[in-house]
Structure 1
Amino acid sequence: MNTYWKKAVCLAVSLTLAVSGLAGCGGGEKKSEEKGRDKETAMGRYLETEMPLPEGTERILALGKLEDGSLELFGESGEGGKRVLWQSKDQGVSWEEISCPDIMKLENSEYLDRAVISPKGDLAALGVANGEEKYALFYGGAGESGQKVPVELPEAEGGNENGISDMKFAPDGRMLIRDYAGNVHTIDPSSGQILQTYKGSGEKIWMFEVLDDKLLAVTETQVQLLDLESGDPLDKDEVLEEQIFNGEGSKDNSSAGFNFMVFLQGKEENTLFLCGRDGIYRHIAGGTVIEQVVNGELTSLGNPSLELLQMITLEDGSFMVSCAIGIDYQLLKYTYSPDTPAMPEKELKVYSLEDNSDIRQAISVYQKEHTDVYVNLEVGITGEDGATVPDALRTLNTDIMAGEGPDLLFLDGMPITSYIEKGLLADISDIAAEAGGADGLFEKVANAFAKDGKTYGIPLGFRIPLFQGDEETAKAVGNLSSLAERVKSLREDNPEIESILSPADAWGLLETLYRLDCADWQKEDGTLKEETVTEFLRQVKAIYDTGIPREEDTSNSGIFDFGAGGTGGFLSMRIDYMSLLMKKALASVGWMGSVSEYSSVISAQKDLEGGVYKNIEKDGKNVFLPYLTAGVSSKSEDKELAADFLKALLQEEIQSSITGAFPVNKKGFEGTLKNPYGEEGGAELAVSGEGSDDMFTMSLLWPDEEQLEELRQMLEAADTPSLTDETIWNVVKEQGEKYLEGSQELEEAVNNIMQKVNLYLAE
């Protein structure tokens, strides 16, 4: 397991470079459009079924369909990473182990990244042989021992080392590979001899597929169809190009071994199928239309955490897709049901101020289990129309009062207290009680928005404030005045270091400390306490002034982003342990929201002499940052359906997959504790300091049981929600930055904050 993690991290870097050109080519995020309902319901829809994986299989390397119609699956087991080749003669209902080429077994190949199976049953894989570092191509014919294939590739541009990044089998069994330079070659898999090279328009080919007698080549700017025999370009297919570049499947996939979109040759001549986040589409090459046959919004294909491997058709016309959702590999089957409405008969309207991958993942999971419900997500700020938070909220409030608003709201960034006082949120106490009784909730977080014995909103997750640094500063961090005095003292003793406290920039410091301090800023009528705002800005300014002015660093040296997703701006507020390790700062404050972040903190801790980390208690309160606080609209005409969706949001299945924060469901939290690194640790990260010789490595370690229990106690202690109204924060940020950077005085900044916030609250 440890070997796999290390190799996967290395290859992910190279593949990120390979697909980065495509990531910017897609169109803007597609908004969910209002789905009309015909008076006469249209019938017929593909329904999704999760098929059983072969026994013990935890990772799928390849899925293929053979000439006789049987299926083969090449996978790794959880027990020691054993690799097994499986065959199914009943279309994936059951599997039996068959002979696997010896070269593919763990004792001969340390790590395999991806593999493909030919219609004749030949197997090819890309990976690392035991005792070697470079990636190589492995090939084994049906019933053979197999071999590592030596391929002499042309030199890459600029003299860079070339290598193989992908491979496919053509329907006739010939093998094609793509190299780092973006060229596609046909090779002899037995000898490695290059038989033909396809260059198309001359642009680098980022992705390719073999479709009957054609080569589909996707470059940074276009989609090309080439004759497989001659290599000559065929007529341009503008409809296909539009779908590939503007569909949801063209974004956000740079993971080792996966594809941002997969293709399949249809039975009819010139017919192909393509599968991405939008769903599965049918297209006749050169045709003027493309038909969606499986709606991604109604299936797991629309899940933001889904990553595609391969797609095949079964004998009955169904589709089978191999993929991973999070860390779980799956086989998804799509079978046409003529008696199922084309669109679900029920519609649940959901609102979020900003788009969020955790919301979309939850919707995908819910719709998979409730095929009669369409969850229509409306996003208030899309970035396409210039709308601000107040603009979006005014539109939302108008819709609610007109009876056209959402059924369920994600209240992050909204004035929750005001919504409760105005009676816009329904009492959901029974849902909280049911969820708490089933799995257990972090009760203080779950009850954060309770009033007079009624609950009006439940955070699906939460983040907690954390300090890392020296022990004396740790004692002062819970009080801004004490922290400022301590930081000033440290600066006097350490005149050369870049920063005493990280974050040191105006925005980052303001937001990190604001989220911690603002929990008690409001009076009972919702207005701000002027003296509290004044004191906050004064102390943050004192801390900010201890920093050494420097030019902005755009190199991203030392920055690593593991497991990001659904967190919005929270990523910029994490503990900056890298600055501590590189001795660019003495201490750091941040917000922690996952066990993987905690893992990074404790991994860094072993290299920080005399350092400590601790949950920050702010003036006796354990503040937390609510994440995805869900509430049911009191104006909803379908509160029962909204309540059912909220119940699902609080259950273990969805809770254990939340990436933006710790789950509020305790069983969901326990589901996030699986060690991905192995006993020896995870990826070794190389961190460089100021000098060329100032470099060291850090191995990521998973928390032991004692450390996990320490984390549980931190989460149990969380009792006071941070102020979630994004409009107030935006005013504080705007005026606070001006004050910290010296363009206005403290009194002016406070006056502007009070006036603008009071005007907003009066609307």
Structure 2
Amino acid sequence: MRKIKRWKQGIAVAGVIALTGSLFAGCGGADGKNSGSKGKTGSSNQAGNADTADLVNVNTDNSDGKKTKDESTKAMGRFLENDLTVPENSQFLRDVKVLDSGALRMVYYSTADNCYYAADSADNGETWTNGKSLEELLGLKENLGEYISVVSAAADGSIFVGADLSPDRDNENAQTTADSGEEDSAYDNLKMEFFYLSPDGNVQKVDTGDTIQSSYTFQACFTENGTVLIVDPGNGVAEINPSDGSLVRRYEEGISVDFIGTAGKMLFTIQDQTLHGYDLDTGKPLDNISALTEQIQSDEQDVNWTTTSSFPLMFLKGDEDNSLFYIDHTGVYRYVLGGSTVEQIIDGSLNSLSSPDTGTVAWGQDSDGNFYVGCNAGEDIRIYSYVYSKDTPTTPDTELTVYSLKDSDFIKQAAVLFQKKYPDIYVNIEAGMSGDDSVTDTDALKVLNTEIMAGTGPDVLLLDGISEDTYIERGMLENLSGVLKDEDILPNIKDAYTKEDGSIYTMPVKFGIPMIEGNKDIIAGITDLTTEADAAESQKDSYGKLKFFSSFSISPSGLIQGTIDNSTPAWMNEDGTLKEDALKEYLEQVNRIWQTQKDAIEETKKAYQMGDDWANSDRSGYTNIAGSITDLLVKVNTVAAGGLLSPEGLVYLDSAKKVDPDLDYRLLNGQSENCFYPRSIVGISAKASEKEAAEKFVKFLFEEESQRASNDEGLAVNSKVYEDMAYWKMGKSSGDTIGSIGTSYDTGDGNIKQFVMDEIIPEDEAIQNIMDLGKTLTVPAKSNQIIRNAVTESGEKYLNGETGLDDAVKEIMQEVNLYLSE
């Protein structure tokens, strides 16, 4: 029996494909009755019991990106988000539908028994019936499990299912072929069969004949007319009658469609980042949707389908025959065909729609105008209702600005949770560097410093990559000791950031543990950076084509970025200047490692005709070590190194030992001992304009709800959460298999093979050992981006032989001193 796999791209081979089983979603609803907008006001049609004019956000954006309110009127009315329950053991959502009866139906996958289920709720998601397996509903004797690739539920109770019932479906050769680049033949041996459960409970196998030309399909959905739309890869979209399988109509014949959605009598397709609309009654293209097309195509996230477990864009029937709703990561919108504007009725920045871990799967609307949105969030299902509250301000009265040098998914997720608790506060997250422009770290920090000194800066700062000591010395940060006095923070973390007088100006919200995994005999001798270089030299005879020391060691810059964090404290003085001798020693040891790798890198690049870009990606030591585990297991790397940043990271480390008993893992010291990686280091500006809101936000970040938020950006610093076995086991039990990860790799003789590792929850002893280890770490590996850049730039030239050691050290010292003087 196949397992749901999550394929990780390592450095083993350039063409690994990403799979998550066959967890594809439905098309969107045919049962909606509400309204929507993208920042512009428009029609005053009814949306449930709320007038559209009351729903539209009256705020505008000024030049500095902050929202301003029209002081003459205070708009009231907003959809508020509510979390609904989900059935026990539900892991992956496939569809959510508001039935004609008014009940909710959800179809989901459970890894507990490898089955798909349908469950109903008659009380708006407060409770659910015991789920019935699709096999039971369809009268099938065999457990189809992950062989089901398409599921769609209809408002009248119908269910349509597509599954791979080919005799050799367990043969992984098809996927291996795809990994080797022959995508056209990846599913040649598969055979899709379709089943239809009618409203009266009758089940029949649907014979589509030659209508579906592809041997595999990934999306199907009901239309309001009772027909079924099936994406036929490479040949558009087929509309069939589910009762007999006959073809009603084909759309975009001969074209590869990415995904589709329906809104009442309208079909929308996305292909090649373009939106196309069709009238389902006539089959003709919609010719009056130019404003909608322009709006959607202007947001690249809407038209790029990057994951198989959710959709970036979904449609729903509107409140009039010629209107529709759509939903994306920025909110819910309403559009009237032929209109020149698109209206926003739900601002995604005020709820979970904007959270990085939320992937929308399906949605609907009841007769009262309430929206229901089903999402996959990591390993969990989330179903939200959006209920209109006429007494809530359209936009919050208070705007809190949170700044980070680079984009932070964790803070975005935390902001969503915070705004649920404090709906009167809007969290505006600003990133100094977007990555899409030429702004450098230095540029961004100069702007930030100028704004702070002028009193126009952010209220809360994330100081990752920023010299927090400099900000403290200059009196730019508030004392947090009062804010954090009642927060249960791990003593070793809190003490590391507490001054002698008891003041606290910054505190990491999460932390990571530097780890290394490899052969027991090899890693036993690695106690610092010098012995790590010794180990690299001891294994030099094993390096060659796709054979390296670690994933960090495949480029000079990557090697520096992968080893700098737990060495920096050894060469930092209290005033921020560097210890020249310690810095010199660091570069010498890193160079020793690099000299063992050069020939292997060149051999690999030549064999696979790779450019330098292949090896020059960011491989910071803060990167989750989990990303290197598969390369370790397929013998591409001698060791895996990086940060343990999540409970799932420990699952990877421990599961690897079960695959290869000769492996072990331990703390990785650099030039400094007992380091931890501080993550999301938070502080409050001394000139914060919204100090009370800033204190609430910072306090919230350390509370249990925020600390338990699902993310892989760091371990909890809240003692109660960190010491909870359930946190480490992610709600499962020791020995449970929660999934699997895999990679495709070159065996060295031209053959491509697959490797799969089951993810197994560790035993209590393994968890306790890591838990205890984390409590012993006392030295924060503070990462100053300016220093990191200076060391990387000059260090890379030294490792490449372009400059001498003394000159490289001199350049670094000059660069850092110049920065400090400013």
TM-score by length of 1: 0.87
Query: Does 1:528 find its partner at 2:535?
Result: no
Cα gap change, 1:42 to 1:423, in 2 (>3 Å)? same
- Whether the 8 Å contact between 2:241 and 2:248 is mirrored in structure 1 is yes
Query: Structure 2 vs 1, CA of residues 389 and 492 (structure 1 numbering), >3 Å: closer, same or farther?
Result: same
- Contact conserved, 2:464 with 2:681, CA < 8 A, in 1? yes
What code does the residue aligned with 2:369 have? G
SS in 1 for 2:487: helix
Q: Distance in 1 between matches of 2:561 and 2:3?
A: 38
Distance in 2 (alpha carbons) for counterparts of 1:546 and 1:57: 49
Check 1:382–1:484 CA distance in 2 against 1; reply closer, same or farther (3 A cut): same
- Residue 729 of structure 1 corresponds to which residue in structure 2? 788
Counterpart-to-counterpart distance in 2, 1:14 and 1:194: 28
Partner of 2:451: 399
1:751 paired with 2:810, answer yes
Picking from 626, 649, 653, the partner of 2:705 is 653
CA distance in 2, matches of 1:519, 1:164: 54
Q: Tell me if 1:102 matches 2:130.
A: no
1:691 alignment counterpart: 749
Residues 508 and 572 in structure 1, CA contact (< 8 A), matched pair in contact too: no
Q: Write the deviation string for residues 245-303 of structure 1: whole angstroms up to 9, x where unpaired.
A: 33475277644342222111113121000011110000012211000000001111111
In structure 1, the partner of 2:514 is 465
Q: Map 1:611-650 to 2 at 5 A.
A: 611-618=663-670, 621-650=673-702
Q: For each residue in 1:363-407, what CA deviation from the matched residue of structure 2 results, as whole angstroms up to 9, or x when unmatched?
A: 111112211110111111113442211111111111111111111
Q: Which residue of 2 aligns with 1:662?
A: 715
Query: Does residue 164 of the first structure (1) align with residue 213 of the second (2)?
Result: no
Partner residue in 1 for 2:612 = none
- Secondary structure, counterpart of 1:293 in structure 2: strand
1:81·1:106 contact (CA, 8 Å) conserved in 2? no
Q: CA deviation at 1:416?
A: 0.7
| CA 1:47–1:742: 2 relative to 1, 3 Å | same
- Offset of residue 110 of structure 1: 2.2
Match of 1:546 among 590, 596, 599: 596
Quote the residue 2:50 is aligned against: none
1:444 aligned to which of 492, 495, 500: 492
Q: For 1:2-41, what aligned pairs fall within 5 Å after superposition? A: 5-6=4-5, 12=19, 33-39=65-71, 40-41=73-74
What is the CA distance between 1:720 and its match in structure 2?
Answer: 0.6
Q: Report the CA distance shift for 1:82/1:613 in structure 2 as closer, same or farther (over 3 A).
A: closer
Out of 278, 286, 306, the residue aligned to residue 330 of structure 2 is 278
Deviations along 1:68-94, whole A, 9 cap, x unmatched?
Answer: 544433446786467654445555566
Contact 2:646 2:715 in 1 (8 A): yes
| Contact 1:83–1:104 (Cα < 8 Å) also in 2 | no
**What amino acid is aligned across from residue 527 of structure 1 in structure 2?**
T
Structure 2 SS opposite 1:308: strand
Aligned to 1:474: 523
How many pairs align?
735
- Deviation for aligned residue 1:477: 2.5
Question: Which residue of the partner structure matches residue 488 of structure 1?
Answer: 537
What does residue 46 of structure 1 align with? 79
What is the distance in 1 between the residues matched to 2:95 and 2:544?
58
SS in 1 for 2:262: strand
How far does residue 458 in structure 1 lie from its aligned partner after superposition?
1.4
Moved more, 207-216 or 519-528: 207-216
CA contact (8 A) 2:24 2:310 kept: no
Following superposition, the deviation at residue 152 of structure 1 comes to: 3.7
Match of 1:140 in 2: 197
Distance of aligned partners of 1:388 and 1:79 in 2 relative to their CA distance in 1, 3 Å threshold: closer
Q: Could you tell me which residue of structure 2 aligns to residue 24 of structure 1?
A: none
For 2:607 and 2:542, the matched residues in 1 are separated by 29
Structure 1 spans left out of the alignment, 5+ residues? 20-29, 558-565
Aligned to 1:26: none
Could you say if the C-alpha distance between residues 641 and 57 of structure 1 is closer, same or farther in structure 2, counting changes exceeding 3 Å? same
The residue type equivalent to 2:759 in the other structure is L
The correspondence for 1:503, drawn from 519, 531, 552, is 552
Shift of 1:446: 3.1
The aligned residue for residue 561 of structure 1 is none
The aligned amino acid for 2:783 is T
Q: What one-letter code is carried by the residue in structure 2 that aligns with 1:102?
A: L
Unaligned stretches of 5+ in structure 2? 9-16, 27-60, 170-189, 610-617
Residue 150 of structure 1, CA deviation: 4.0
Structure with larger RCO (C-alpha < 8 A, sep 6+) = 2
Q: Write the distance in 1 (CA, Å) between the matches of 2:701 and 2:267.
A: 44
Tell me how far apart the structure 1 counterparts of residues 296 and 159 of structure 2 sit (CA, whole Å). Answer: 28
State how far apart, in whole Å, the 2-side matches of 1:217 and 1:496 are.
44
Q: Which residue does 1:269 correspond to in 2?
A: 321
Q: Does 1:537 align with 2:583?
A: no
Amino acid of the residue matched to residue 12 of structure 1? Answer: L
**What is the percentage of aligned positions where both structures have the same residue?**
29
Contact 1:153/1:163 (<8 A) preserved? no
Give how far 1:519 is off. 1.2
What is the CA deviation profile of residues 718-750 of structure 1, one whole-angstrom value per residue up to 9, with x for unaligned ones?
211113110000000000001101111111111
Cα drift, residue 603 of structure 1: 2.7
The separation in 2 between residues aligned to 1:86 and 1:617, in whole angstroms, is: 51
Cα distance 1:525–1:83, how it changes in 2: closer, same or farther (>3 A)? closer
**Compared CA separation, residues 326 and 124, structure 1 to 2 (3 A):** same
Counterparts of 1:11 and 1:548, CA distance in 2: 30
Q: Which residue does the alignment assign to 1:183?
A: 236
Taking only aligned residues, the RMSD between alpha carbons, in angstroms, comes to: 3.5
| Aligned: 1:517 with 2:567 | yes
Q: In the aligned structure 2, how far is the partner of 1:7 from the partner of 1:136?
A: 25
Alpha-carbon separation, structure 2, partners of 1:694 and 1:204: 27
Aligned equivalent of 1:563:
none
Is contact 2:99-2:154 (8 Å) kept?
yes
Single out whichever of 146-155 and 350-359 deviates more from structure 2.
146-155
Change (3 A) 1:91 1:709: closer
Q: 1:411 aligns with which of 444, 453, 463?
A: 463
1:717 aligns with 2:776: yes
Residues 1:215 and 2:267 are matched in the alignment: yes
